[in-house]
Homo-oligomer: A and B are copies of this chain.
Amino acid sequence: MAVSKCSRLSGPLIQELLDSVDNFLFDCDGVIWRGDQAIPGASEVTNLLKKNGKRVFFVTNNSTKTREMYAEKMAKLGFQAKTEEVFGTAYCSAVYLKNIAKLDGKVYLIGGNALSKELQKVGIQTVGSGPDPVSGGQSDWADVPLDPEVKAVVVGFDEHFSYMKLSKALKYLDNPDCLFVGTNTDTRLPLEGGRVVPGTGCLVRAVETAAQRKAQIIGKPSHFMFDCVVSEYGIDPARTVMVGDRLDTDILLGSSCGLKTVLTLTGVSHLIEATAHQESHCPERTGMVPDYYVETIADLLPALQG
């Protein structure tokens, strides 16, 4: 059944969508907030959705916060959200390593506190995070001692990323039995005011290039994060909508998992990119065409308040 795509979500169409779904998955950066500022109207939207009996989850590729830290930020910005409703890649990476990969050993971590904490919570020790400036010469880098208990390398957002860490990761990953996990491949992290900083994708790409191996990616568009939500809540994909700002992560995930998809224009992707994918008629690109789009999720307010 052909469904028209990339439709502006407005007027009666909003109520139609609301009636056809029970569950909302929201991306965070560029969708409900930018940096430390909520998108105007966003908290009202998610709170009203819950009030109207919808289940609301947050699915974010950002690995710099634990579930608890996200819940704190949400409370601070006026979003009513429980810790268990947030699915960040720090948490989901820990779930993956513990329950799927059944890791029995330590993790060499290129990442921050949140990843470290979520991994420790599931009983996985980490080494390597924090500053690691270069020392010595080339020979020293090649001979840097390894921790024999390390059985996986995990790459997430790391403001302390350095050549030294790249060298260590290369050495660990030379062993084909060492797992290689990346939290996500977003190339940029959107902040307030349209500013951006480099995203985890750049770091994962650097390590993949050095190791000549592909990382197992936890974050969108990989369906693993959706699997986490399903396994904890048992939701019906056909009655679920993914709301995101990136065509190549949020929308693609939604399409791949059989969800409805809404693109919001307050983040990374532009409408013109969505229509370009649509007009390409290219099979690999149709997954990045959203069902609907809004200028901002605040566009849903009238239908929710009415």
Q: Which residues in A have some Cβ–Cβ distance to B below 8 Å?
A: 35, 131, 133-134, 138-139, 141-143, 158-164, 166-167, 170, 187-189, 191-192, 195-199, 201-203, 205-207, 209-210, 212
Known contacts A131-B133, A159-B141; is A210 also within 8 Å of B206 by CB? no
Cα A197 to Cα B170 with chains together (Å): 8
Cα A188 to Cα B167 with chains together (Å): 10
Number of copies of this chain that the complex holds: 2
A-B CB contact pairs (8 Å), 15 listed: A35-B138, A131-B133, A139-B191, A141-B197, A142-B191, A143-B195, A161-B163, A162-B162, A162-B163, A166-B202, A167-B197, A167-B198, A170-B197, A198-B206, A198-B210
Shortest Cβ distance from residue A124 to the other chain B in the assembled complex, whole angstroms: 24
Shortest Cβ distance from residue A48 to the other chain B in the assembled complex, whole angstroms: 29
Residues of B within 8 A of A189 (CB): 138
Residues of B within 8 A of A203 (CB): 163, 206
A161-B166 in contact (CB<8A): yes
Max count, chain B CB within 10 A of own CB: residue among A160, A206, A207:
A206
Residues of B within 8 A of A134 (CB): 159-160
